[in-house]
Amino acid sequence: MDNPSFTPASRTQASLLAPLEKKALLWLAHRMPAWVSSDHLTLLGFTAMLAAGGFYALARWDPRALLLVIGCLILNWFGDSLDGTLARVRNCQRPRYGFYVDHVVDAFGTSALLGGLAISGYMHYLVALGVLIAYLLVSIEVYLATYTLGHFQLSFGKMSPTELRILLSIGNLVLLVKPIVTILGTRYRLYDVGGVIAMIGLTFTVIFCAIRNTKRLYDAERLS
């Protein structure tokens, strides 16, 4: 399984909070107890995302569970964002293992989160399914680009998973007081509106990136 020629992809993280987040993660990584490993943090992030989905489902019967979702999102950020930083600080990186496990975990975790939202009643199950499909399409495009171009895109515009967690947490607080919004005289669930916006944004992103990267690869391997 050894592959000494393997070269990790370059990474781009240009989100709104990226500079502050990087400083915070480095500060935390340097203060992690020696017994805490990257695998522990990955497991924490994954478990927190599964729990967030469970609490969303529970919110169908008890809206206070939305507050527990926020706590789970914080734990997910801590584990999911810090695991790679800790490996780099300790110089014990496993680029292939880390990349594979991290993103398989993300796929299952996001599926659980949106599954919980579909059960919660705060988002129609078809909207939740549409958001999940759009997310997975973006993920596939990112992973293919990482393999073929050697470049891993961590953010799009000023948005990254960190900003999305914050928006979702704010949305949960709003749900407690105003789960229904009125647009042009018609009442909609707040998260249905947010889900449709997310679907449009993700779909535009995957189409734009697919066209851009196809052109880059075509130019790089143009037939004479």
Query: pTM higher than 0.85, yes or no?
Result: yes
The encoded tokens of residue 113 equal: 């989160």
| Mean pLDDT (whole number) for 40-62 | 97
In whole angstroms, give the CA distance from residue 54 to residue 52.
5
User: Per-domain residue ranges for the chain?
Assistant: 17-217
pLDDT given at position 6: 63
pLDDT at 18 > cutoff 70: yes
pLDDT given at position 4: 52
How many angstroms separate the Cα of 7 from the Cα of each of 91, 95, 96, 160? 16, 9, 9, 24
* H-state helical runs in the chain: 18-30, 38-58, 65-89, 95-120, 125-149, 161-177, 190-220
pLDDT given at position 40: 96
In whole angstroms, give the CA distance from residue 20 to residue 23.
5
CATH class, domain 17-217, is mainly alpha
pLDDT at 2 > cutoff 80: no
pLDDT at 121 > cutoff 60: yes
Q: Could you give phi then psi for residue 96, rounded to 5 degrees?
A: -75, -50
pLDDT at 214 > cutoff 70: yes
Burial, 142: exposed, middle or buried (Cβ in 10 Å; 0-12, 13-18, 19+)? buried
Condensed to tens digits (0 to 9), the pLDDT of residues 165-196 reads: 999 999 999 999 999 999 998 999 999 999 99
* Helix, strand or coil, per DSSP, at residue 67: helix
